[in-house]
Amino acid sequence: MPILNRSSALVCAVFAMISVLPNASAGGTLFGPSVPASAVPPTPESLARMYAGKTENWGGGAAAYWAANGTFRAVNPTEQSIGIGKWYVTTASRMCYEGRWYWRQDFGVEDSTFRTCTRFLIDEDGQMWTTTKARSGPWFPFDPSKLQRGNQVSERFETLQDLLGVDAQDQ
């Protein structure tokens, strides 16, 4: 009987893992259930209403406020960073936000511009799905309970802005 070397053992282990994972052709992916082919984008108007004037909980104390006037502010206390800029919904039902992030780095403060767009689909059961990747995904179920009415970011934003010593004006 041949002795398996490390690479052969690794191939066997990976094959064993793959054989017990959900099958994408059976309606699932490695990231969970797949989005039904019949899912359609929400209207741009409904997507804009869903975000306008709400704070989105990003987890771990991080959050973003999507103001009705199209500006946004984001905070991540764990990483001592803030983001500021504008948000908008495209005619293709993508929610995009762009601006500048500021964060503490070593003994100073760094900053960088960014642009992120999220795609949305709604399936026949009313479940909304999102991805920041191409239409092929991966897609994730959207949890509307992460959006709460009102601005729950400003106080933490101003505290971090003072800590970082930056004059981050709405862009």
CA nearest 78: which of 151, 169, 160?
Answer: 160
Q: Report residue 145 as tokens.
A: 């309970």
| Average per-residue pLDDT for the chain | 82
CA nearest 95: which of 130, 60, 58, 147?
Answer: 130
- Look at the alpha carbons of 145, 151, 152, 156 in this order and tell me if their dihedral is positive or negative: positive
Q: What is the pTM of this model?
A: 0.77
What local confidence, expressed as pLDDT, does residue 5 receive? 42
The answer to whether the CB of 74 falls within 8 A of the CB of 153 is yes
What local confidence, expressed as pLDDT, does residue 15 receive? 32
CA nearest 154: which of 64, 43, 59, 49?
Answer: 64
What local confidence, expressed as pLDDT, does residue 169 receive? 66
Across 35-80, the runs of DSSP E, i.e. the strands, are 54-59, 62-66, 71-76
The answer to whether the CB of 80 falls within 8 A of the CB of 164 is yes
Percent of the chain as helix, strand, coil, to the nearest 5? 25, 40, 35
Q: Using one digit for the tens of pLDDT, what is the confidence trace for 99-133?
A: 999 999 988 999 999 999 999 999 999 999 999 98
Q: Which of 35-72 are b and which e, b meaning 16 or more Cβ less than 10 Å from the residue's Cβ?
A: beeebeebebeebbebbeebbbeeeeebbbbbbeeebb
What local confidence, expressed as pLDDT, does residue 16 receive? 34
Amino acid at 85: G
